[in-house]
Structure 1
Amino acid sequence: MEEKNKRLAVLVGCNYPNTPNELHGCINDVLAMKDMLVKRFGFDHENIELLIDEPNTSSSTMPTGANIKKALGSMIDRAEAGDVLYFHYSGHGTRIPSMKYGHPFRHEEAIVPCDFNLITDLDFRQLVNRLPKGTSLTILSDSCHSGGLIDKEKEQIGPNSLEDKNATLKQIHITPKTIPYESILQHLSSLTNINTTDIGTHLLEFFGSEASLRFRLPLLDLDLFQPLKHDEGILLSGCQADETSADMRPNNMNGANGKAYGAFSNAVEMVLKDNIGQLSNREVVMKARDVLQGQGFVQQHPCLYCSDENADAIFLLQC
């Protein structure tokens, strides 16, 4: 009997407890998505790897940069034609100065694991390029500056492809899910005791071969990571590259079941609960935009980056 196609997921929630960068809803985000993956999208518990920084918890792996990349690499190594792969990240994001001339915003996008070992857009490009033919990797990043988190992925919904609605609602109080570049640089400098403003030097000194490809490769070699001809990377970002994503607590506004949550993760969850039929990737992002607008998040605009074909493909290929 032929084995059924696998559905594999890596879910990462970083709350950064007991630090100046503490968030509160990120672990709740990925736990809620895990439940959704199992009940609605046919994922098996055994095929979902959870990485959270919950204190006094030994049931999951800590979401360090090395552990996240290892989990993603292992998932891709297991993948075969027809498999559906999913990565959900809820936590801080940041922007680092671009090393490439003429880059939009002159910055590169990155997520911030619990140990500050940045995972950059180039790392996600390399992961997508490793996908076996006939598989897809959907990334949902509920983090600041997450637009464009897969390097060179085509923009389908974003600042250059869609005119935003006029904002008529008052912006509510939020905690942005971002750590400024200067704060990351200061933290890493305290670890290495090296007097330089080059963040790559600090990351290479402290993390060595576990640092991002963005800092380990010579500048000229970065262009080797072009998108493949048949690119199966799909990015649903919580906001545009120059925006922040919100972390919400019940005392800020009515939380999901009284719990803290990430605004984009919660919006996607609401969209999926309110629409029991199949939704395309494009529809999920557009409906999530509408939810956020209705809740008053007028400065956060989710985006979609993928091929034309995948823009209209069914989200997680729901049967």
Structure 2
Amino acid sequence: MGRKVALLVGCNYSGNPKCRENGLYGCINDVKAMQGLIRHRFGFLDGNITILTDETQKQPTQKQPTRLNILDELNKMIDAANPGDTLLFYFSGGGALVNRPVNPPVTNEIKRGKSAIIPCDLKPITGADMVAILNRLPDGAFFTFICDSSYSGGLFDENVQTESNVPDHANNCNFKSKTIPSNLLQSINVSENLPAGIPPPVILFSSSRWNEESVEVHLNCDVSMAFSAYSGAIQKLFNSPQAGNGLNAPYANREVDAFTRASLGYLGFDQHPCLIPNKNNAVALFLNGYGPGVCRIV
């Protein structure tokens, strides 16, 4: 077994004056929870975990999760990868549809664009940006991308996206949409087409379909303990005695996908997680199984 290496990114946008209305509260909390999970459950070593968040006031010297810095860290991860390595890129933040009009049509009409994740500097990262890097993944290394942002299911779809009508959570203080309006984004050159498909060892866990918003949760309208609904379902799966199929064994990727979808559906969320894998990856162990001496809680 090779190394386990992770890049964890959380964007609340609290330091960006453009995002006063669309800033988030739970994405840095998500990163902290994911860091604990992969350390204690999956055997990732602290020296192999890179964290980028925009928690600027508390950690002013921390490298910020800008477009340039995120892509730079992904390049470093791929360049240092060896056969047998397990690589994780986790992103919690806003999503958007780019390459559509700044003033979109009314809600009942189709809105067009490409799915993108949004760094703290509001310069989008599309699937084409990532595939250009992931095509250098060495044979025998495995890359998992867990993306908790709106429209994330369309990141590796080369077709023009369409956005369906999604419920407006803005007036409910218990929920906040993880969507960044396209008129706030910084202009970049967005590739019209993806490079030739996703490399086979890459798997995407998306928090929503290409036409859906993802949400974060504020229990009792308290933003101090905010978390993203999808990331919360992943935490529940691996930390709850009631979760799982009752076997003292690691979960397969498709089990993780099935649980998160069922969990969010049971709670009434209007987002549907999805798994975009190579067929063989669906039955592979999530993050290559638990770390040494770790068992599933049953």
TM-score, normalised relative to structure 2: 0.80
- Secondary structure of the 2:264 match is helix
Aligned pair 1:44/2:45, yes or no? Answer: yes
Within 5 Å, give how 1:296-311 maps onto structure 2: 296-297=268-269, 299-311=270-282
How far residue 203 of structure 1 moved from its aligned partner, in angstroms, is 2.4
Residues 237-266 of structure 1 show CA distances to partners (whole Å, capped at 9, x for unaligned) of 00001000111123348x9xx721011011
Residues 112-153 of structure 1 show CA distances to partners (whole Å, capped at 9, x for unaligned) of 100011100111222221110001110000000000323469
Unaligned runs of 5+ in 2: 101-109, 160-171, 291-298
The residue number in structure 2 matching 1:233 is 202
Within 5 Å, give how 1:1-319 maps onto structure 2: 5-17=2-14, 19-20=19-20, 21-56=22-57, 57-58=59-60, 60-97=62-99, 106-151=112-157, 173-184=174-185, 188=186, 202-203=187-188, 214-215=190-191, 222=193, 225-227=195-197, 231-252=200-221, 259-274=225-240, 275=244, 277-297=249-269, 299-319=270-290
- The worse-fitting range, judged by mean Cα deviation, of 50-59 and 6-15 is 50-59
Identity of aligned residues (%): 37
Task: Confirm or deny: 8 A CA contact 1:124 1:151 kept in the other structure.
Answer: no
How far residue 289 of structure 1 moved from its aligned partner, in angstroms, is 1.1
- Secondary structure of the 1:15 match is coil
Which amino acid in 2 is paired with 1:268? Answer: I
- Secondary structure of the 1:251 match is helix
Change (3 A) 1:278 1:105: farther
Q: Aligned partners of 2:29, 2:226: CA distance in 1, in Å? A: 7
Q: Aligned partners of 2:113, 2:250: CA distance in 1, in Å? A: 36
Q: Aligned partners of 1:262, 1:33: CA distance in 2, in Å? A: 12
Residues 255-309 of structure 1 show CA distances to partners (whole Å, capped at 9, x for unaligned) of 9xx7210110111111122346311111101101111122221x11001101000
* CA-based RMSD: 2.4
The residue number in structure 2 matching 1:159 is none
TM-score, normalised relative to structure 1: 0.75
Residues 160-204 of structure 1 show CA distances to partners (whole Å, capped at 9, x for unaligned) of xxxxxxxxxxx99521100122333xxx4xxxxxxxxxxxxx325
Which amino acid in 2 is paired with 1:312? Answer: V
Q: Aligned partners of 2:60, 2:138: CA distance in 1, in Å? A: 32
How far residue 71 of structure 1 moved from its aligned partner, in angstroms, is 0.7
Q: Aligned partners of 1:268, 1:282: CA distance in 2, in Å? A: 13
Higher helix share: 1
- The worse-fitting range, judged by mean Cα deviation, of 84-93 and 105-114 is 105-114
Which amino acid in 1 is paired with 2:5? Answer: L
How far residue 310 of structure 1 moved from its aligned partner, in angstroms, is 0.3
The residue number in structure 1 matching 2:165 is none
- Secondary structure of the 2:236 match is helix
Which amino acid in 1 is paired with 2:3? Answer: K
Change (3 A) 1:265 1:226: same
Task: Confirm or deny: 8 A CA contact 1:172 1:296 kept in the other structure.
Answer: no
Q: Aligned partners of 1:25, 1:172: CA distance in 2, in Å? A: 13
- Secondary structure of the 1:137 match is strand
Task: Confirm or deny: 8 A CA contact 2:97 2:112 kept in the other structure.
Answer: no
What is the aligned residue count? 258
Runs of 4+ aligned residues of structure 1 deviating over 4 Å after TM superposition are none
Residues 197-256 of structure 1 show CA distances to partners (whole Å, capped at 9, x for unaligned) of xxxxx325xxxxxxxxx34xxx5xx46x1026x611100000001000111123348x9x
Change (3 A) 1:24 1:80: same
The residue number in structure 1 matching 2:296 is none
